[in-house]
Amino acid sequence: MENRNRIREIRKSLKMTGTAVAEQIGISPQLYYDIERGRRRLNSKVAGQLSDILKVTTDYILQKTDINLYDPDSEIELTSKQVKIVIDGKLVNKEEMDFIVAYIRTTRQVKEERK
């Protein structure tokens, strides 16, 4: 999905018109639709305003990520290859990560058995 299509799809999913979004940003509907169609570049000020209006991060709008972190309640799944955990200034190694995962699984199992 291209940047311009992402903006349009998000807007439509929120059942908003381009004119309504343009009014909230303070630009003309024509300029907004030109941005949405990729005919005009998206500047940082407008990207920030769109982020707030559409409830997505600017990185999500600009397709630097496919994960929308705007909503703190949204769930994301990360693998140990995507994230590095540092404790007390030291990187958690694979052996320690395996131990952490085993601990969490055991704790969850015990809780389930107590129900």
Q: Is the pLDDT of residue 40 over 60?
A: yes
Decide: 8 and 32 in contact? Cβ < 8 Å.
no
Q: How many CB atoms lie within 10 A of CB 109?
A: 10
The pLDDT, as a whole number, for residue 72 is 65
pLDDT classification of 112: cutoffs 50, 70, 90: very high
Residue 105, helix vs strand vs coil: helix
Q: What is the pLDDT of residues 76-87, one digit of tens each?
A: 676 767 778 899
pTM: 0.60
* Cβ proximity of 18 and 7 under 8 Å: no
Chain region(s) in the chain for CATH 1.10.260.40: 3-61
- Give mean pLDDT, residues 25-54: 93
CATH topology of domain 3-61: 434 Repressor (Amino-terminal Domain) (1.10.260)
Burial grade of 86 (CB within 10 A; 0-12, 13-18, 19 or more): exposed
